[in-house]
Structure 1
């Protein structure tokens, strides 16, 4: 079906030249063309590297980093997370957060990363939220306002005890006074009627000559909300508090405790290998007070917030949100006077939050790091302005999940980043949970959310998650980040062929990091450089032919295909007015860069060809299949006369197979079919889940997303040819196969605190001694080893292998 879509973009190009003054890599269009096939490491995706409690090892650190570099991952951000195992069964009790062993492992990671030309960053706090740690004392933590009320009769000398305000559900270690106020009990009380009698109060008692009438006495103060950073290594779970987000002194104390040890122990790496301090999305709930809040509010707004809080409650407006430790938003349930105050209250909180984040950012920069920040709330709305936060960060970051239709932050990040001269827009990429990520993830599955992220202007992915695996490769898949995230790891079945996917991401990131973000509409995004206009186009529907109007004139379009890594000419375009109309064919979930160079280019571009005729010829189903199990078992071979789904086989070694199966067949090619005006495509049909091609001993590429087709003409010869198709599936079937046998370790359905396990998933209670001591495994039947179970013996198997039909497509061509 042919469609015409109009890309309506109104751009003031005179303004673009000013914006382009921002820093960007000194790339020319020629240099980009030269790097397009294999982008350098600075354009590669990075990974979130979760260290799980005390479960880290030097051997695992080295193996993880080498596997990442080999796969095409350019750097890591270290997060210190819990093990989620029974701490009583901890085999490495000396390896706690910031222990001697921890610092040694961290220095080894930096040393190894430096040797690999990789970069390392670290999350500022233990856990992923937000800013804090075991160094934060309760008085430096987040604070919450509260008050008690006492009714008294006036016209007498009082000496009464005023109760302390009710604190939160956790016993607070202290309470700090702010003010004692007296309000006459009558309707229509105004600010001038509220008396500050704080000087008449001490040691819990009020000594006051009360005027005639009834009075309500407010004892107003604040106490720590005791919000903890989370989720953190078990050894600091009880002590890791969130820092006060509105107090500069607490902010400075926090960042000193983050940065000083890094500078003292790892200073030689800072600014080169060690270059990012990360702040994840905001999950610290709210804050409505701080030791300096009253004075700060008066400086900003010119009136006393304590008086206005009291007047709000006198009007019957309960503005404090005790559950969230903050304030309720303005709304219809409150009076207009209260809503005006709440608007001011929210504005001052926002201002103080952002000032403290700016202070932290400045300290991070002074120490030699870049400040990466996800400035939004991922569970609740954050108490600060996202757009201003984007301006503060050196590397503003958002997030998207495997099921996302748009990134967090309503897609505004690229626009806000461009306004603040930020070239990079990062993302926590491919976050997920067990509904979508059960070792079921494949590059084909991940392409749609990846392209969605690119279409919103994201140009630097941080893969979520590569859990650090401290164990030997004898135990696979090994560690995972609980039930969160896509399972990137050195033991992933498809890591080797997945290099093609990581290269695709790098190609897209390289182009999308050039110049300046201009605009996005639907599934088209534009960036502008001094040498070219660059558009990223994606198709989320079935295969189609589209004609798209681009706001460019006097330029010849080029097609830059990031999936295949090639640049192609096209004659399917015309200029009309101030637009250029380009017709392109896109398969489902295919993407393409349309590049409009300002000048004629001389780098190589594949000529456009027209297919005049095609003759499909199905290969005979005579296959020799060599199975290479990922679990280090012996390979085995089968001869099949038909292509079948492995999961439907009765042989258990095939039925529960996970790994790579190499299909081999000999084909005969006629000399005339190799003429210059002909080509031969191989079409694999249905594949679970990706395929590497080899023709006559030479690699012919990786097919990791449908349609599984490739041009193999250049590798063929007249006569007999050997075709090999290496098909890799996921871990799923082998994991289900293992559940047919008793476990040789203990599963539990409870958390360490006795509550039901997260989302009802069984977890390993603790690492078995035979695993940590390198002893033979008790079970001879079980082949896999994971701390979290997604399946049981009755879980349905998933399709696996090459299902075909495999077809050679003989094409007669016309070169345009």
Structure 2
């Protein structure tokens, strides 16, 4: 019996080990060949729109060849007046011609295996000529009226269409508005000030609208306005796909309805929800007072509820009814909350500053707590401005900062449609990177997108793992909100100072933001919650937090515990409840699990109460990580976000005794060891660290020492495509030559190399080394870029003996060519490509006729920075031998 038991246990262990081996092998296979739906997408701007079916097909093919998995169609402003002679004709938005182009694009996308999303409007926010004045974005504004001494009436200003008075206050008393011409008052001997509150329209027009899409922005708080938009625009767009493949998703950009603060039935909805008449308290929306914060809290909460119920929910339902999904950036004005993201199929963020609050982490946090597996971000919005300045490395630098916030679907911003015959590099968006195939360095794009695809795919494995949650002070934002800027997310950063986000990251933790709605829904599953200097908190959420603490959760309070609750009508009861819970945290049995600290001590305290997920020695704030919990282990994405190398050691939670480095650029892997793991990252380098049972035994990565084999700094045959001027040898910029200063394109460097047989006999690697980089000054953080003086500007493709060796566009600026070299004579070819910036610097463009025809719909950004950039191989090239330190030591002995 004992022998049978032993045999059974052995068989069971073998089955488990085989299962583990299978899981690990499957994960590695998914890394090597990531799913197509993890490929990055592009926002595709149709200018005018003036598009032809032939060019649409060509650009879709170019996107696919570049490694993109799909696109989002965004019709925007015209870049040319109609010019039939050159084939440029602006088809009005939603015209039959436009819809035919949309349908043709859908058919080509389907045949090409490309995802197609469509913006549910033109430009942003939604609106257009179908929006009547009664459905336009609405506001509440205050007008000051002087009442002279002895005056018996107050004359009211003339109202514009869509406006009407909703309240008149004199000496703090609300006066009846019997008509809109004048109001009788009792005369006094003193001059006084009356305040008229007018409900009207913001007058905002759709930004960057296509031809025929001009008009008012819709009232996002009006059911009728949203329904009319879906009927006039949504249904019309969907008619292009009748009988065909529906778009994968319909898209809504961030809500940027400036001044939106009202809707026609707000007084009725407010009284129904809050229990009192808002019109009696209108002054509180604009000025401080005894009841001001409570009234503003109620007003803001009502706006938030209406944008959820009347904008997000019906559009998501409409999308599903039409066989598609709703992808939305759920932040802005009027004010959605973090939990509003739960109302859309595909939440999306925006913003690369991973060490402070931004809308990317807002979206990814919601995706994590509400269990959305895929969350996208609008990426490269302001990358290395002006347009055309961005490099492949710039793309990686910003994308990594989105990955570090939990993004696993990149939506690039973007790809500019450009008609044939337009002078190179063609059309471009007024702001953001120009990342289409008119960019000279586009031939390396497949390498860039393959990297992005691999990381995106791996960040969909398992589940996001964060020990810390940071409570968003939404209630305080509600109480401080004003009609001029009714946004929750825009007020968050200042409320999370002194940089609580950075403190948490520096304590070796990742985190999710969370809000009251998510906590009431039972989504607080983290180990520790940070409350950042709150005055108000939702009482029901606070009770859920207290119960969570009783079950072992820990709270770290920055500053002081909250002492107030809800709005005006329930202020006393809700505040009493909040104060009771706060006292319980300080005095009760749970006080050991609640710590109140100075705001700038959050990070140091966090290190003492929670074991770091990743512990670095020495510490480097440029090091970032994301953790994913897998069925059989853990997966980390780590990145150096700075321009200097990182050399440190790290301990990782989930270390199961064996880790592997997976390189998402090269597709290679090496052993990482266990315990105190050595971490070496070149500037802006990133890796995946995988702890999964069943990994194959592979050699550990050894420290490398480079030794020169051949000096290749001279002897190159150098030729620029399409010009007669001869570029310099490696080590100098071709832009230094006046004849090539404004040249954008490619330069080919060719030479023969005689490699000694002995160099190939040694079992080490031979690398082409393009030289070192150096950091640049840290400037203009709102325009992300690689702050490096790079040796290759801006990318290179290498061939050895007629075979592709790879591309060079990121540190450490070396390429393994061991397998392609042979003893004796070898031919090396390096094709270096710069950006289109140099050529554009010599060619200012006039928009005179365009603006006379359509008005000024855009202003190109950062044109003062339009100047030639260094180009080519800026350092000497060397063939080097890479050997481990141990190997070099042995050879010396």
TM-score by length of 2: 0.70
- Counterparts in 2 of 1:471 and 1:730: CA distance versus 1, 3 Å: same
Matching of residues 339-738 of structure 1 within 5 Å: 339-356=293-310, 357-377=312-332, 382-400=333-351, 408-409=358-359, 411-432=361-382, 436-472=385-421, 475-482=423-430, 484-519=431-466, 521=510, 523-539=624-640, 540-571=642-673, 573-574=674-675, 581-597=676-692, 599-602=693-696, 608-611=701-704, 614-619=707-712, 621-628=714-721, 633=722, 643-649=731-737, 652=739, 654-675=740-761, 677-685=763-771, 686-736=791-841, 738=842
Aligned-residue offset at 1:76: 0.8
Aligned pair 1:284/2:229, yes or no? no
- The answer for the alignment partner of 1:6 in structure 2 is none
CA separation in 1, counterparts of 2:632 and 2:242?
39
Matched residue of 1:496: which SS? Answer: helix
- The answer for the alignment partner of 1:293 in structure 2 is 266
- Counterparts in 2 of 1:286 and 1:31: CA distance versus 1, 3 Å: farther
Mapped contact 2:752–2:825 kept (Cα < 8 A): yes
Aligned-residue offset at 1:791: 7.8
CA separation in 1, counterparts of 2:208 and 2:114?
27
Mapped contact 1:397–1:428 kept (Cα < 8 A): yes
Number of aligned pairs?
A: 686
- Counterparts in 2 of 1:805 and 1:149: CA distance versus 1, 3 Å: closer
Aligned-residue offset at 1:224: 3.0
Aligned-residue offset at 1:532: 3.1
Aligned-residue offset at 1:555: 3.9
Aligned-residue offset at 1:84: 4.8
Aligned-residue offset at 1:637: 9.0
Mapped contact 2:94–2:233 kept (Cα < 8 A): no
Higher helix content, 1 or 2: 2
239, 262, 276: which one pairs with 2:237? 262
- The answer for the alignment partner of 1:335 in structure 2 is 289
- Any gaps of 5 or more consecutive residues in structure 2? 1-21, 467-508, 511-620, 772-790, 889-893
Aligned-residue offset at 1:591: 0.9
Mapped contact 1:406–1:453 kept (Cα < 8 A): no
Mapped contact 2:408–2:456 kept (Cα < 8 A): yes
CA separation in 2, counterparts of 1:369 and 1:605?
45
Mapped contact 1:49–1:466 kept (Cα < 8 A): yes
Matched residue of 1:39: which SS? Answer: coil
- The worse-fitting range, judged by mean Cα deviation, of 560-569 and 516-525 is 516-525
- Counterparts in 2 of 1:133 and 1:714: CA distance versus 1, 3 Å: same
Mapped contact 1:621–1:643 kept (Cα < 8 A): no
- For residues 555-605 of structure 1, give each alpha carbon's deviation from its aligned partner in whole angstroms, at most 9, with x where no partner exists: 41110111212122233x32xxxxxx32121111111111111x2124x96
- Any gaps of 5 or more consecutive residues in structure 1? 1-26, 153-159, 321-332, 575-580, 762-787
Aligned-residue offset at 1:409: 2.2
Aligned-residue offset at 1:352: 1.1
109, 113, 133: which one pairs with 1:113? 109
CA separation in 1, counterparts of 2:731 and 2:643?
29
- The answer for the alignment partner of 2:517 in structure 1 is none
Mapped contact 2:388–2:835 kept (Cα < 8 A): yes
- The answer for the alignment partner of 1:70 in structure 2 is 65
Mapped contact 1:683–1:809 kept (Cα < 8 A): yes
CA separation in 1, counterparts of 2:838 and 2:643?
30
Mapped contact 1:54–1:97 kept (Cα < 8 A): yes
- The answer for the alignment partner of 1:765 in structure 2 is none
- The answer for the alignment partner of 1:14 in structure 2 is none
CA separation in 1, counterparts of 2:146 and 2:680?
78
CA separation in 2, counterparts of 1:233 and 1:640?
45
Matched residue of 1:76: which SS? Answer: strand
- The answer for the alignment partner of 1:3 in structure 2 is none
- Counterparts in 2 of 1:600 and 1:107: CA distance versus 1, 3 Å: same
Aligned-residue offset at 1:373: 1.3
CA separation in 2, counterparts of 1:54 and 1:409?
30
Aligned pair 1:245/2:199, yes or no? no
Aligned-residue offset at 1:134: 2.2
- Counterparts in 2 of 1:680 and 1:340: CA distance versus 1, 3 Å: same
Mapped contact 1:36–1:566 kept (Cα < 8 A): no
Matching of residues 782-801 of structure 1 within 5 Å: 795=867, 797-801=868-872
Matched residue of 2:380: which SS? Answer: strand
- The answer for the alignment partner of 2:42 in structure 1 is 47
- For residues 760-787 of structure 1, give each alpha carbon's deviation from its aligned partner in whole angstroms, at most 9, with x where no partner exists: 88xxxxxxxxxxxxxxxxxxxxxxxxxx
- Counterparts in 2 of 1:660 and 1:605: CA distance versus 1, 3 Å: farther
CA separation in 1, counterparts of 2:323 and 2:290?
48
Aligned-residue offset at 1:748: 3.9
Matched residue of 1:288: which SS? Answer: coil
Mapped contact 1:749–1:760 kept (Cα < 8 A): no
- Counterparts in 2 of 1:308 and 1:593: CA distance versus 1, 3 Å: same
CA separation in 2, counterparts of 1:700 and 1:660?
18
- The answer for the alignment partner of 2:553 in structure 1 is none
Aligned-residue offset at 1:241: 1.8
- Counterparts in 2 of 1:755 and 1:177: CA distance versus 1, 3 Å: closer
Matching of residues 61-100 of structure 1 within 5 Å: 61-85=56-80, 92=88, 95-100=91-96
TM-score by length of 1: 0.76
CA separation in 2, counterparts of 1:209 and 1:41?
72
Aligned pair 1:225/2:213, yes or no? no
Aligned-residue offset at 1:97: 1.0
